[in-house]
């Protein structure tokens, strides 16, 4: 009897562990944009689940991708930068801005990539196009948080919706 119970408990435990490894229930990226009036810059960070991001990078660039290995960081930085800059556009006061890649790091289960836009003295309005991972998951959600002079505004974009505007 104990052997049968042990087998059943082992099977249930194996099923729970394998189900949690294979998939996660939500598909979301988070983009934070903050205006630094002192430095006259926009500071941008994107948080993307590592496993999803690696799959998209493999599909897009048809190459080996491992964002967790420090020895591959230089090659991976090019992929991260290129992908995000193709899928995230920022328009400030009616002008499309160029984001400068600052780097990326892995924190727990996510990749954080960092960008900066220079010469932004004032920010009256900002329009963001964000379709990060939209080609990967139909259920993809993009959360946007914009902070200007301590005033934070947020929105949620659900695939295929990809544009949001904010006025400050």
pLDDT tens digits for the chain (168 residues)? Answer: 444 433 443 333 444 444 444 555 789 999 999 999 999 999 999 999 999 999 999 999 999 999 999 899 999 999 999 999 999 999 999 999 999 999 999 999 999 999 999 999 999 999 999 999 999 999 999 999 999 999 999 999 999 999 999 999
Q: Is residue 135 domain-resident? A: yes
Structural domain count of the chain: 1
Using CA atoms, how far apart are residues 100 and 44, in angstroms rounded to an integer?
10
Q: Is residue 9 domain-resident? A: no
Q: Is residue 85 domain-resident? A: yes
Task: Give me the pLDDT at residue 29, please.
Answer: 97
Q: Is residue 31 domain-resident? A: yes
Q: Is residue 91 domain-resident? A: yes
Contact 12, 118 (CB under 8 A): no
Q: Is residue 19 domain-resident? A: no
> Global pTM?
0.83
For 90, the token pair is 């920022």
What is the spatial order of strands in the sheet that 163-167 belongs to? 95-96, 88-92, 125-130, 163-167
Q: Is residue 15 domain-resident? A: no
Which of 48, 81, 53 lies closest to 65 in space, CA to CA?
A: 53
Enter the DSSP assignment of 150. T
**Segments forming the whole domain that contains residue 64:** 26-167
């Amino acid at each position: 009897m104990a052997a049968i119970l042990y087998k059943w408990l082992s099977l249930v435990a194996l099923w729970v562990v394998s189900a949690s490894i294979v998939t996660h229930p939500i598909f979301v990226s988070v983009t934070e944009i903050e205006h630094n009036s002192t430095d006259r810059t926009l500071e941008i960070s994107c948080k993307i689940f590592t496993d999803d991001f690696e799959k998209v990078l493999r599909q897009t660039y048809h190459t080996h991708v491992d964002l967790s290995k420090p020895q591959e960081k230089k090659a991976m930085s090019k992929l991260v930068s290129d992908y995000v800059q193709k899928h995230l556009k920022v328009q400030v006061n009616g002008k499309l801005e160029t984001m400068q890649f600052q780097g990326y790091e892995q924190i727990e289960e996510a990749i954080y990539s960092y960008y900066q836009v220079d010469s932004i003295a004032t920010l009256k309005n900002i329009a963001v196009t964000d379709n990060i991972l939209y080609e990967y998951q139909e259920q993809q959600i993009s959360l946007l948080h914009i902070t200007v002079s301590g005033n934070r505004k947020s929105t949620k974009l659900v695939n295929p919706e990809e544009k949001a505007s904010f006025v400050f």
